[in-house]
Structure 1
Amino acid sequence: MNAVEIEQAITDLVEQPFDPAEFPYAFLAAFDNKETTIKRLRAGASNKSDLGGVLQTSNIHILTCEAGQVPTALKALKNSPTTAKAKAKFILATDGVDFEAEDLSSGETVACAFVKQRLKMTR
Protein backbone atom coordinates (compact mmCIF):
# COMPACT_ATOMS: atom_id res chain seq x y z
CA MET A 1 0.00 0.00 0.00
CA ASN A 2 1.48 3.35 -0.98
CA ALA A 3 1.11 6.74 0.75
CA VAL A 4 -1.77 7.84 -1.50
CA GLU A 5 -3.73 4.65 -0.78
CA ILE A 6 -3.14 5.01 2.96
CA GLU A 7 -4.25 8.65 2.87
CA GLN A 8 -7.42 7.65 1.03
CA ALA A 9 -8.13 4.86 3.52
CA ILE A 10 -7.72 7.29 6.44
CA THR A 11 -9.94 9.85 4.69
CA ASP A 12 -12.61 7.20 4.20
CA LEU A 13 -12.31 6.14 7.83
CA VAL A 14 -12.75 9.61 9.34
CA GLU A 15 -15.67 10.42 7.05
CA GLN A 16 -17.67 7.48 8.43
CA PRO A 17 -19.66 7.75 11.66
CA PHE A 18 -17.32 7.06 14.59
CA ASP A 19 -17.70 3.57 16.03
CA PRO A 20 -15.46 3.26 19.10
CA ALA A 21 -15.50 -0.54 19.06
CA GLU A 22 -14.61 -0.76 15.37
CA PHE A 23 -12.23 2.19 15.03
CA PRO A 24 -8.98 0.48 16.14
CA TYR A 25 -9.45 -2.34 13.64
CA ALA A 26 -10.47 -0.01 10.81
CA PHE A 27 -7.43 2.14 11.58
CA LEU A 28 -5.12 -0.87 11.39
CA ALA A 29 -6.79 -1.99 8.15
CA ALA A 30 -6.20 1.47 6.68
CA PHE A 31 -2.49 0.86 7.16
CA ASP A 32 -2.69 -2.39 5.21
CA ASN A 33 -2.62 -4.83 8.12
CA LYS A 34 -3.61 -8.30 6.97
CA GLU A 35 -7.13 -9.51 7.73
CA THR A 36 -5.63 -12.46 9.61
CA THR A 37 -3.79 -10.05 11.92
CA ILE A 38 -6.97 -8.08 12.56
CA LYS A 39 -8.97 -11.26 13.22
CA ARG A 40 -6.40 -12.39 15.79
CA LEU A 41 -6.53 -9.01 17.51
CA ARG A 42 -10.35 -9.08 17.57
CA ALA A 43 -10.35 -12.58 19.05
CA GLY A 44 -7.89 -11.51 21.73
CA ALA A 45 -5.29 -14.06 20.67
CA SER A 46 -2.68 -11.39 20.01
CA ASN A 47 -4.31 -8.35 21.64
CA LYS A 48 -2.70 -7.92 25.05
CA SER A 49 -4.03 -4.45 25.92
CA ASP A 50 -4.43 -3.93 29.64
CA LEU A 51 -6.66 -0.90 29.07
CA GLY A 52 -9.43 -2.39 26.96
CA GLY A 53 -7.91 -1.05 23.77
CA VAL A 54 -6.12 -2.77 20.92
CA LEU A 55 -2.41 -3.48 21.27
CA GLN A 56 -0.52 -4.71 18.22
CA THR A 57 2.88 -5.94 19.40
CA SER A 58 5.85 -3.96 18.07
CA ASN A 59 3.51 -1.44 16.46
CA ILE A 60 0.72 0.49 18.18
CA HIS A 61 -1.53 0.66 21.24
CA ILE A 62 -4.93 2.22 20.40
CA LEU A 63 -7.58 3.29 22.88
CA THR A 64 -10.97 4.83 22.22
CA CYS A 65 -12.48 6.72 25.12
CA GLU A 66 -15.38 8.81 26.38
CA ALA A 67 -15.77 12.37 25.09
CA GLY A 68 -13.22 14.74 26.59
CA GLN A 69 -10.97 11.98 27.93
CA VAL A 70 -8.40 11.83 25.11
CA PRO A 71 -5.45 13.39 27.02
CA THR A 72 -6.13 11.08 29.98
CA ALA A 73 -6.37 8.05 27.68
CA LEU A 74 -3.11 8.95 25.91
CA LYS A 75 -1.36 9.30 29.27
CA ALA A 76 -2.71 5.90 30.34
CA LEU A 77 -1.39 4.35 27.12
CA LYS A 78 2.02 5.93 27.64
CA ASN A 79 2.20 4.71 31.24
CA SER A 80 0.84 1.24 30.50
CA PRO A 81 3.31 -1.54 31.32
CA THR A 82 1.98 -3.56 28.40
CA THR A 83 2.74 -0.73 25.96
CA ALA A 84 6.40 -1.00 26.95
CA LYS A 85 6.41 -4.80 27.20
CA ALA A 86 4.91 -5.14 23.70
CA LYS A 87 7.47 -2.65 22.36
CA ALA A 88 4.75 -0.48 20.82
CA LYS A 89 6.20 2.29 18.69
CA PHE A 90 3.06 4.43 18.69
CA ILE A 91 0.14 5.21 20.96
CA LEU A 92 -3.17 6.65 19.80
CA ALA A 93 -6.25 7.82 21.68
CA THR A 94 -9.50 9.21 20.27
CA ASP A 95 -13.06 9.87 21.29
CA GLY A 96 -14.24 10.47 17.73
CA VAL A 97 -13.98 14.24 18.24
CA ASP A 98 -10.35 14.67 19.26
CA PHE A 99 -7.34 12.62 18.19
CA GLU A 100 -3.96 12.38 19.90
CA ALA A 101 -1.04 10.16 18.99
CA GLU A 102 2.62 9.89 19.91
CA ASP A 103 5.64 8.30 18.31
CA LEU A 104 7.26 6.78 21.40
CA SER A 105 10.73 6.61 19.87
CA SER A 106 10.94 10.28 18.81
CA GLY A 107 8.43 11.81 21.21
CA GLU A 108 6.71 13.52 18.29
CA THR A 109 3.02 14.08 18.97
CA VAL A 110 -0.10 14.90 16.98
CA ALA A 111 -3.17 16.44 18.59
CA CYS A 112 -6.04 17.62 16.44
CA ALA A 113 -9.71 17.34 15.64
CA PHE A 114 -10.52 13.80 14.49
CA VAL A 115 -11.81 14.78 11.02
CA LYS A 116 -8.82 17.01 10.30
CA GLN A 117 -6.46 14.15 11.10
CA ARG A 118 -6.79 12.84 7.56
CA LEU A 119 -4.70 15.78 6.40
CA LYS A 120 -1.87 15.07 8.82
CA MET A 121 -1.53 11.28 8.85
CA THR A 122 0.76 11.09 5.83
CA ARG A 123 3.10 13.91 6.80
Structure 2
Amino acid sequence: MRKLVAFTFEHHSRHPDFIRLVMIENIHHGAYLQQSDIIRDLNITAIKELERLYARGVELGEFRSGISPLEIHWQISALSFFNVSNRVTFSMIFGDQLFSTENQSSLRQSVVDLIVRNVQK
Protein backbone atom coordinates (compact mmCIF):
# COMPACT_ATOMS: atom_id res chain seq x y z
CA MET A 1 0.00 0.00 0.00
CA ARG A 2 2.84 2.37 0.86
CA LYS A 3 4.45 1.84 -2.54
CA LEU A 4 1.16 2.35 -4.37
CA VAL A 5 0.39 5.61 -2.59
CA ALA A 6 3.93 6.96 -3.04
CA PHE A 7 3.89 5.96 -6.71
CA THR A 8 0.55 7.70 -7.31
CA PHE A 9 1.72 10.89 -5.57
CA GLU A 10 4.93 10.93 -7.63
CA HIS A 11 3.16 10.05 -10.88
CA HIS A 12 0.74 12.94 -10.48
CA SER A 13 3.60 15.30 -9.65
CA ARG A 14 5.57 14.22 -12.72
CA HIS A 15 2.57 14.51 -15.06
CA PRO A 16 0.87 17.86 -14.38
CA ASP A 17 -0.53 17.92 -17.93
CA PHE A 18 -2.53 14.78 -17.15
CA ILE A 19 -4.00 16.54 -14.10
CA ARG A 20 -4.88 19.57 -16.22
CA LEU A 21 -6.53 17.31 -18.79
CA VAL A 22 -8.66 15.70 -16.08
CA MET A 23 -9.58 19.14 -14.75
CA ILE A 24 -10.65 20.30 -18.22
CA GLU A 25 -12.72 17.15 -18.71
CA ASN A 26 -14.47 17.87 -15.42
CA ILE A 27 -15.18 21.44 -16.55
CA HIS A 28 -16.87 19.92 -19.60
CA HIS A 29 -18.87 17.51 -17.40
CA GLY A 30 -17.18 14.44 -18.86
CA ALA A 31 -18.43 15.10 -22.39
CA TYR A 32 -15.47 13.40 -24.06
CA LEU A 33 -15.30 10.52 -21.59
CA GLN A 34 -18.94 9.76 -22.36
CA GLN A 35 -17.91 9.18 -25.97
CA SER A 36 -15.30 6.58 -25.04
CA ASP A 37 -16.10 2.90 -25.18
CA ILE A 38 -12.81 1.87 -23.55
CA ILE A 39 -12.03 4.36 -20.78
CA ARG A 40 -13.65 2.32 -18.01
CA ASP A 41 -11.87 -0.84 -19.12
CA LEU A 42 -8.54 0.99 -19.09
CA ASN A 43 -9.05 2.19 -15.54
CA ILE A 44 -10.64 -0.90 -14.02
CA THR A 45 -7.22 -2.59 -13.81
CA ALA A 46 -6.12 -0.04 -11.21
CA ILE A 47 -9.14 -0.84 -9.06
CA LYS A 48 -8.68 -4.58 -9.53
CA GLU A 49 -5.06 -4.32 -8.38
CA LEU A 50 -6.07 -2.27 -5.36
CA GLU A 51 -8.80 -4.81 -4.56
CA ARG A 52 -6.18 -7.57 -4.65
CA LEU A 53 -3.78 -5.61 -2.47
CA TYR A 54 -6.47 -4.68 0.04
CA ALA A 55 -7.83 -8.26 0.24
CA ARG A 56 -4.31 -9.53 0.91
CA GLY A 57 -3.87 -7.01 3.71
CA VAL A 58 -7.19 -8.03 5.26
CA GLU A 59 -6.29 -11.71 4.95
CA LEU A 60 -2.96 -11.09 6.68
CA GLY A 61 -4.74 -9.23 9.46
CA GLU A 62 -2.96 -5.97 8.67
CA PHE A 63 -5.93 -4.08 7.21
CA ARG A 64 -9.35 -3.69 8.75
CA SER A 65 -12.20 -5.14 6.76
CA GLY A 66 -15.18 -3.32 5.34
CA ILE A 67 -13.39 -0.58 3.39
CA SER A 68 -14.24 -0.13 -0.25
CA PRO A 69 -11.14 -0.34 -2.47
CA LEU A 70 -12.82 2.23 -4.71
CA GLU A 71 -13.00 4.58 -1.71
CA ILE A 72 -9.31 3.99 -0.98
CA HIS A 73 -8.53 4.79 -4.62
CA TRP A 74 -10.57 8.00 -4.35
CA GLN A 75 -8.67 9.07 -1.23
CA ILE A 76 -5.27 8.37 -2.78
CA SER A 77 -6.25 10.22 -5.95
CA ALA A 78 -7.72 13.17 -4.08
CA LEU A 79 -4.62 13.78 -1.99
CA SER A 80 -2.25 13.27 -4.92
CA PHE A 81 -4.36 15.28 -7.35
CA PHE A 82 -4.78 18.34 -5.13
CA ASN A 83 -1.01 18.61 -4.78
CA VAL A 84 -0.82 19.37 -8.51
CA SER A 85 -4.21 20.83 -9.39
CA ASN A 86 -4.18 23.58 -6.77
CA ARG A 87 -0.46 24.25 -6.63
CA VAL A 88 -0.63 27.69 -8.24
CA THR A 89 -3.45 29.10 -6.13
CA PHE A 90 -2.19 27.43 -2.95
CA SER A 91 1.28 28.89 -3.54
CA MET A 92 -0.07 32.35 -4.27
CA ILE A 93 -2.09 32.38 -1.06
CA PHE A 94 0.22 30.53 1.34
CA GLY A 95 3.65 30.65 -0.32
CA ASP A 96 5.42 27.89 -2.22
CA GLN A 97 7.43 26.31 0.59
CA LEU A 98 5.45 23.03 0.33
CA PHE A 99 6.64 22.62 -3.26
CA SER A 100 10.38 22.43 -2.66
CA THR A 101 11.93 19.01 -3.29
CA GLU A 102 12.43 18.41 0.42
CA ASN A 103 8.91 19.46 1.40
CA GLN A 104 7.33 17.47 -1.44
CA SER A 105 9.10 14.40 -0.10
CA SER A 106 7.74 15.14 3.36
CA LEU A 107 4.24 15.74 2.00
CA ARG A 108 4.38 12.50 0.00
CA GLN A 109 5.31 10.61 3.18
CA SER A 110 2.45 12.27 5.05
CA VAL A 111 -0.01 11.18 2.36
CA VAL A 112 1.37 7.62 2.47
CA ASP A 113 1.08 7.53 6.27
CA LEU A 114 -2.45 8.96 6.21
CA ILE A 115 -3.75 6.34 3.77
CA VAL A 116 -1.97 3.46 5.54
CA ARG A 117 -3.30 4.54 8.95
CA ASN A 118 -6.78 4.67 7.47
CA VAL A 119 -6.70 1.04 6.32
CA GLN A 120 -4.66 -0.46 9.15
CA LYS A 121 -6.35 -2.67 11.66
Question: Which entry has the higher C-alpha Rg, 1 or 2?
Answer: 2
Q: TM-score range by the shorter chain?
A: under 0.3
TM-score (norm 2): 0.26
TM-score (norm 1): 0.25
Higher-RCO chain (CA-CA 8 Å, sequence separation at least 6) = 2
Q: Could you say which structure has the higher strand fraction?
A: 1
